Amino acid sequence: MKSLLLLLVVIGVAYGAWVSVPGSFLYPVKIKVLEPVPFIFAVAVTDRTTWSAELLGRRIDEAVDLANKQILTTDLQTALLINIDKQITYVNKWAADFSDRKEYARAIDAVNRLSAVLEARIAYLKANLMPPATDEKIKFLADISSRLV
């Protein structure tokens, strides 16, 4: 009975963490415990690249969600931008590793996956985050856009 209760608590915490957003109590569990799990089981670097691109998209989606709810603070923006940079760094590192091994097609694929996610999310941001345009929203969009290069 205790083990069943423990299992239900673990599942509940995991679910709560998975749907959490920056600033919520369970968000650190999401980004430090749950999201790294696929990296452990990823056999191919392309799987890691795909997962990093997915995480990057999630961070941008979280930013849009918080901005639209008018709760995207400067501290949350900073935390999101740091996490976005982290995912971009991972993908670029794996692309460089491919390039070093002369696997140029895979290197290009890794960078293309990253670019596709960024471009799609930036278009989404422009459509959904901007109206009404405020200086804060414009600066945040520019910060994210600058990471494309």
Q: Indicate the SS3 state at residue 149.
A: coil
Is the pTM here over 0.85, yes or no? no
Contacts of 17 (CB under 8 A, 6+ apart): 26, 27, 29, 30, 33, 34
Name the CA dihedral angle for 77, 83, 84, 89, rounded to a multiple of 10 degrees: 150
pLDDT at 51: 81
The answer to whether residue 28 scores a pLDDT higher than 70 is: yes
Task: Work out the average pLDDT over 7-23.
Answer: 82
Asked if 137 and 129 count as a contact pair (C-beta separation under 8 A), the reply is: yes
Q: How confident is the model at residue 124 (pLDDT cuts 50, 70, 90)?
A: low
Measure the CA–CA gap between 2 and 99, rounded to whole angstroms: 52
pLDDT at 102: 82
The answer to whether residue 48 scores a pLDDT higher than 60 is: yes
Measure the CA–CA gap between 121 and 58, rounded to whole angstroms: 9
Q: How confident is the model at residue 45 (pLDDT cuts 50, 70, 90)?
A: low
1 secondary structure, DSSP code:
-
Task: Work out the average pLDDT over 60-88.
Answer: 77
